[in-house]
Amino acid sequence: MATKNLSEYDIEKVPSARGMKFGIVVAEWNYEITGALAEGAFETLKKHGADEKNIIVKHVPGSFELILGAQYMAEYTDVDAVIVLGCVIQGETPHFDYICAGVTQGITDLNIKYNKPFIFGVLTTNNQQQALDRAGGRLGNKGDEAAVTAIKMVALRNDIN
């Protein structure tokens, strides 16, 4: 598992997010964690120039529903990128492998289907402490990292297009 601080990045290498539109889909399961991821993502997008009114935040029950929630976002809004945020903790579920595999493949497929960035901000950890560490704790916030990734991918599209 990565041990780098997820909130540390080279600020010089992050393009401006001015004018970009983002969707954030947040799983309610383990909300203590996913709410913190969402806050991190939202604040990081704003920090880099995104307008609050260009960030749509929607919630789904669990990580498994992130796939369809993200598809709705792409289908029914004009966002440039979708960030999905969830937290699956191994100790709490025998479903762990199934949920993780389903979400990973589902989100991967959406990138190709829509030719649009769907950013994978799902923590898959062995226990709650590891998740807390990555949701604004000792190892930063995966939401921050997901937001920076979304900005970079939209900028890449704008650059090539």
Active site residues: 95
* Stretch of residues binding ligand RBF (CB under 6 A), selected from 24-32, 41-49, 107-115, 151-159: 24-32
Residue 62 beta carbon to ligand RBF: minimum distance, rounded to whole angstroms = 2
- Listed in sequence order, the residues at least 6 apart from 144 whose beta carbon sits closer than 8 Å to its beta carbon are 6, 7, 9, 40, 41, 43, 44
Q: Is the distance from CB of 120 to CB of 84 less than 8 angstroms? A: yes
Assess 130 for contact with ligand RBF (CB under 6 A): no
Assess 121 for contact with ligand RBF (CB under 6 A): no
Q: Is the dihedral angle over the CA atoms 123, 45, 28, 73 positive or is it negative?
A: negative
Q: Which of 39, 65, 80, 144 binds ligand RBF (CB under 6 A)?
A: 65
DSSP 15: P
* Stretch of residues binding ligand RBF (CB under 6 A), selected from 89-97, 110-118, 127-135, 146-154: 89-97
Q: Which of 23, 24, 25, 30 binds ligand RBF (CB under 6 A)?
A: 30
Token pair 């966002």: residue: 79
Largest Cα–Cα distance in the chain?
Answer: 44
Q: Is the distance from CB of 135 to CB of 30 less than 8 angstroms? A: no
* Stretch of residues binding ligand RBF (CB under 6 A), selected from 37-45, 51-59, 63-71, 126-134: 63-71
Residue 14 beta carbon to ligand RBF: minimum distance, rounded to whole angstroms = 28
Burial class (CB in 10 A: 0-12, 13-18, 19+), 13: exposed
Nearer to ligand RBF, 88 or 151 (CB): 88
Give the residues lining the site for ligand RBF (CB under 6 A): 27, 29-30, 61-65, 86-89, 92-93, 95, 99
